[in-house]
Structure 1
Amino acid sequence: MQQLYVALLAGGLVLLASIVATRAASRVGLPALLLFLVVGLAIGEDGLGLRFDDAQLAQNLGTAALAVILVEGGLTTRWADVRALLAPSGMLATVGVGVSVAVTATGAHLLIGLDWQPALLLGAIVSSTDAAAVFSVLRTLPVPRRVAGLLEAESGFNDAPTVILVLLFSSIPLSIEPVGVAANLLYQLVVGAVVGFAVGKLGAWGLRRIELPASGLYPLAMFGLGVVAFATSGAIAASGFLAAYVAGLVLANSGLPHRASLRSFAEGLGWLAQIGLFVLLGLLVTPHELLPELLPALVVGLVLLLVARPLSVAVSLVLFKLPWREQVFVSWAGLRGAVPIVLATFPVVAGVPGSSRVLGLVFVLVAVFTLVQGPGLLRLARLLGLIRADAAQEIQVEVAPLDVLDAELLTVSIPPGSQLHYVTVLELRLPEPSVITLVIRGETSFVPSPETRLSTGDELLIMTTAAVRTATERRLRAVGRRGRLAHWFGEYGDPD
């Protein structure tokens, strides 16, 4: 039992240290995820001495965490932001990945002497942008939504083809049949997208018809559906990552209730998955063993950043006439994070020769180039003239938790036989500052006036404060029992 308490204490302290790290990272424009890696390194073998070298466990936990992160990405993405960007983001996630793999692998083979199989693995592993890094950084920058949405959609879609290529290059002996690879890629992407869409639609249909007993169960159910899409797709050898993202995207944009609580829950669970994943990956490597890989990782990273990524963006977007300034920003903002490090464990588990070195190269490359790319994104956006001119004057619309405003939202349905029927809003005389903000009647909704008469079947949305909530509920019960003159009959809405 004592060991359990020690483990929980250590886990809580690591979690709190990681949360504090997000504040420090936001001040300097870094993805906070990089500091989570540092936390893992600090408690690892070269830090506090905790030893962890189970690549298989890291792969399993990392894959599960990535599924959660992608569900969160879908649940917090607005369909309006990505609807018009499906074609260009799809090209970046497929053609762009292919170009990046070819160029990076060639550079690794020629410049640092990697054999072709580990070189191809390295190119595939670092070819995709990272959803966690992109979501955490891009949503804080005042760049055009078209640019941010393109990067978000790309990072949500490109994990699937990347995983397929990594698994292909991890086979022993290495065998590449172009027709078979293309057919497998098409199957995984199409079926994964269909599974995600189907689970999302069916889940939304079911949640509209099932009244759950607590509002907190809705976001939990949506996350559960995303995990179901991931597991179902993986079980039939399709892309679970794509299915998870698509399911989350469909669910979040289906008009389901409790959107604000869904977003808060999704972001919290996503952060928890990211913290756990990066701390785990920080534990997996031993820093003193990475020093010999610093220079080779810099060489490969420069090839990726200055040649492979710009070329992949240019080739993928040639048909979409994206302005060159936006292409430059999209190229530089292709951040790497947890995904490449998790994928680097796949060839290690498969026993591919040279895979341990690939893991070290990937870790160093991700750490160094996150430091290079992340802090400069805002400066680059300004230099390219991509900061919205109205960003400073634009009103800020936020979803504020009601408890922050010391407010509460009540929903009241008027049942048959209730004396609330035909009572006007003025006659209801709710205690100030309570107010009926919306009346939903049948298929329509409207803001009531003082003369509006309530009707059986109406659903009322009432904004109140914590201080007068009880009095508001008592008044509603009193009028519902005895009508507008309830107090004359000695009815004060006492609970039964």
Structure 2
Amino acid sequence: MTVSFDVEQLDKFVLIGAAVTMLAILAVRLSSRAGLPSLLIYLLMGVALGESGVGIGFEDSQLAHSLGFAALLLILAEGGLTTNWREARPSMRLGFSLATIGVATSVTIMAVGGHYLLGLPWELAVLLGAVCSPTDAAAVFSVLRVVPLPQRLVGSLEAESGLNDAPTVVLVTLISTGAVADYGVFGTVGVIAFELVAGVAAGLAIGFGGAWLMRRVALPSSGLYPLAVLTLTLLAYGSATALHASGFAAVYVAALVLGNSELPHRAATKSFAEGVAWLAQIGLFVMLGLLLSPGRLSLSTVGTAIVAGLILTLVARPISVAVSSVVQPMPWRELSFVSWAGLRGAVPIVLTTIPLSEGVDGAERLFDIVFVIVVVYTLLTGPTLPVVARVLRVARRSEPRDLDLEAAPLERVAADLLQITISPVSKLHGVEVGELRLPQGASVSLVIRDGQTLVPEARTVLRHGDDLLVVTPRRLREATEGRLREVSARGRLAQWLDE
């Protein structure tokens, strides 16, 4: 059976699409319990639906390339909208370095290894390095949700995965179209640098301009605000590409600005973007699974993929992280975790559709190799991240978990709701609510104890296992979190101990 867009087949497509999407949604819980990125389940679902399974044939590399890029735009937009700039800013230097210097280092090592150890032609070896070097935000954070880490680590990984798509897309496109031979090495570096800088500039312009506009328009329906914000991120992509700049850089930067601006219905906007990103991930991974022909996978291809993955995981990634850390040194334990947490996902596979659509010799083999690398090494590294974090002693228990509070359209209310769980080792145990001495304007609004809720008074004593809901004005959030952490670490005398 071959995919056809005949109107008469609409009912069948709706039935299959809805069933696959529902199964994919339910699979998220299974994958999170197992510590696996859900992309693996989606990819296998696509393979099962393909020519070797149900029999749906899909070989249109041009369509896969277009749909893959569209899905990546939505995933990047969600990543930018949900990134907390205040928390990510201290690690942005390392993240940017990983996305540029780190990518260049990884591409070089992989290209040399691919040519001399695997016997690949130089063009294919460089393409292998280019498509495998970027990490994938969806893959990384689907696993890191269950691994509590210091913000500097989360920020570094988040910034890297959001920014490294842009230079690799440009590089893979230049190689696949043969433009690298015209520009030369220095010319290629110049083109990539220009596209990145211009893309960031376009993203900043659309982001700040869009935030200014959204604060001043009064849309007739609250549901239009999330749609408008997501549309602005896509406008950033279109504007950047019209200037021959990096659309991917523009999308992420515009989304980062919009997500950290005081906009109406911020919580609804982030929830909407997250839902759209999940839908994009499901469709993207299933489509890429359909594109694979298991009959093409030979022992030679699988062996090449395993060796290439070893070079990537054990050589290229650690060296690229070490080189990138020159701009922002970190303890070796944290750098080791960053190295191991460089999960690959949809991005490398989508990037292989560029040489496929350009008809590059060996592009089908490259696709198969990269597909195997992503599956095998995600299975290897994903489930082991919690163990590696504990062994390297970089995992920590996070006390305040912030929840977004819906803002009124005119932003008369600009506050955040913090949920704090009092851990068994926290010194919040035994402290009275009045002794917390939170910044003026912040307050403990609710205590949840043994499944029961109570409205606290100043003399209410906190206990291990309590969940607190703390309301704080957004401008006081950092001070409120800091005070809670101080009391949790030192008890009711934290203020005087510090002095």
Quickly name the TM-score band, shorter chain normalised. 0.7 to 0.9
1:333-382 deviation per Cα after TM superposition (whole angstroms, max 9, x unaligned):
01101111111011111111111111110111011111011111111001
How far residue 395 of structure 1 moved from its aligned partner, in angstroms, is 4.2
Task: Tell me: CA distance 1:411–1:193, structure 2 relative to 1, closer, same or farther (3 Å).
Answer: closer
User: What code does the residue aligned with 2:395 have?
Assistant: I
Structure 2 counterpart of 1:41 = 47
Determine whether 1:52 maps to 2:58: yes
Q: Does 1:365 align with 2:368?
A: no
Cα offsets for 1:145-174 (capped at 9, x unmatched): 110110000000000111111112213386
Secondary structure of the 1:6 match is helix
In structure 2, the residue matched to 1:224 is: 231
**Corresponding residue to 1:85 among 81, 91, 98:** 91
Q: Give the direction of change, closer, same or farther, for the CA distance of 1:133–1:218 in structure 2 (3 Å limit).
A: same
SS for the counterpart of 1:177 is: helix
What's the CA shift string for 1:82-141, capped at 9, x where partnerless?
212222111111110011001011111122210100000000000111122123222442
Q: TM-score, normalised to structure 2's length? A: 0.79
Contact persistence 1:58–1:280 (CA under 8 A): yes
- The aligned counterpart of 1:262 is 269
Q: Matched residue of 1:209: which SS?
A: coil
> How many Å separate the matches in 1 of 2:442 and 2:222?
24
8 Å Cα contact 1:290-1:364 kept in structure 2? no
Match of 2:116 among 110, 115, 138: 110
In structure 2, C-alpha distance between the alignment counterparts of 1:146 and 1:288, rounded to whole Å = 44
Report whether the alignment pairs 1:214 with 2:221: yes
Name the residue aligned to 1:201. Answer: 208
Q: Does residue 1:375 correspond to 2:380, yes or no?
A: no
User: In 2, Cα distance between the equivalents of 1:199 and 1:334?
Assistant: 30
C-alpha separation between the residues in 2 aligned to 1:354 and 1:228?
Answer: 35
Distance 1:400 1:49, change over 3 A: farther
Show the counterpart of 2:126.
Answer: 120
Contact 1:73 1:135 in 2 (8 A): no
Pick from 124, 134, 144 the counterpart of residue 140 of structure 2: 134
Cα pair 2:93 2:327 within 8 Å, conserved: no
Distance 1:137 1:446 in 2: 36
Q: Provide the residue aligned with 2:483 in structure 1.
A: none
Note the alpha carbon deviations across 1:164-208, whole angstroms, 9 max, x for none.
111122133861612211211111011000101110111110011
Moved more, 283-292 or 377-386: 283-292
Q: What is residue 351 of structure 1 aligned with on the other side?
A: 359
Say whether the 8 Å CA contact 1:139–1:148 is kept in structure 2. no
Residue matched to 2:403: 398
Which residue does 2:418 correspond to in 1? none
1:410 CA drift (Å): 11
Cα distance in 2 for residues equivalent to 1:447 and 1:355: 58
2:344 corresponds to which of 333, 336, 339: 336
Q: Is the 8 A contact 1:108 1:114 kept in 2?
A: yes
The 8 Å contact of residues 32 and 142 in structure 2, kept in 1 or not, is answered as no
Q: Are the counterparts in 1 of residues 180 and 188 from structure 2 also a CA contact under 8 Å? A: no
SS of equivalent residue, structure 2 residue 70: helix
The residue number in structure 2 matching 1:182 is: 189
Deviation sequence 1:10-68 (CA, Å, 0-9, x none): 10001011111111101110001111101111101111000000000000000011011
4+ runs of 1 displaced by more than 6 Å? Answer: 409-413, 445-448
**Aligned residue number for residue 427 of structure 2:** none
User: 1:41 touches 1:282 (CA, 8 Å); kept in 2?
Assistant: yes
Paired residue type of 1:347:
P
Aligned-partner residue type, residue 264 of structure 2 = P
Deviation at 1:400, TM superposition (A): 7.6
Q: How many residues align?
A: 408
> Which one of the candidate residues 257, 262, 277 is aligned to 1:250?
257
Unaligned runs of 5+ in 2: 1-6, 413-439, 444-499
- Partner AA of 2:379 in structure 1: L
Residue 69 of structure 2 corresponds to residue 63 of structure 1: yes
Instruction: Give deviations 1:272-329, integer Å, cap 9, x for gaps.
Output: 0000100000000112322431111000000000000000000111232211001000
* CA distance in 2: counterparts of 1:412 and 1:346, whole angstroms: 44
Q: Kindly tell me: are residues 286 and 410 of structure 1, through their superposed partners in 2, closer, same or farther at Cα, counting changes over 3 Å?
A: closer
Q: After TM superposition, give the deviation of residue 411 of structure 1 in Å.
A: 9.2
SS in 2 for 1:112: coil
Q: Is the 8 A contact 1:78 1:253 kept in 2?
A: yes
Equivalent of residue 155 in structure 2, options 143, 149, 154: 149
C-alpha separation in 2, matches of 1:283 and 1:51: 7
In the aligned structure 1, how far is the partner of 2:154 from the partner of 2:179?
40
Q: What is residue 488 of structure 1 aligned with on the other side?
A: none
Aligned amino acid, residue 389 of structure 2: A
Q: Does residue 25 of structure 2 align to residue 19 of structure 1?
A: yes
User: Match for 2:278 among 271, 281, 304?
Assistant: 271
Cα distance, 1:258 vs structure 2:
1.2
Change in CA separation of 1:70 and 1:410 when aligned onto 2, cut-off 3 Å: closer
Instruction: Using the aligned pairs only, state the percent identity.
Output: 52
For residues 314 and 146 of structure 1, the distance between their equivalents in structure 2, rounded to whole angstroms, comes to 16
Aligned position for 1:94: 100
- For residue 481 of structure 1, what is the aligned residue in structure 2? none
Partner of 1:286: 293
Contact 1:102/1:120 (<8 A) preserved: yes
Q: Distance in 1 between matches of 2:105 and 2:409?
A: 54
Q: Tell me the SS of whatever aligns to 2:278.
A: helix
**Letter of the structure 1 residue corresponding to residue 275 of structure 2:** G
Q: In structure 2, how many angstroms separate the alpha carbons of the residues matched to 1:382 and 1:446?
A: 38
2:175 maps to 1:169: yes
CA contact (8 A) 2:203 2:236 kept: yes
For residue 236 of structure 1, report the CA deviation from its aligned partner. 1.6
**C-alpha distance in structure 2 between counterparts of 1:223 and 1:174, whole Å:** 34
Cα distance change, pair 380–116 in 1 and its aligned pair in 2 (3 A): same
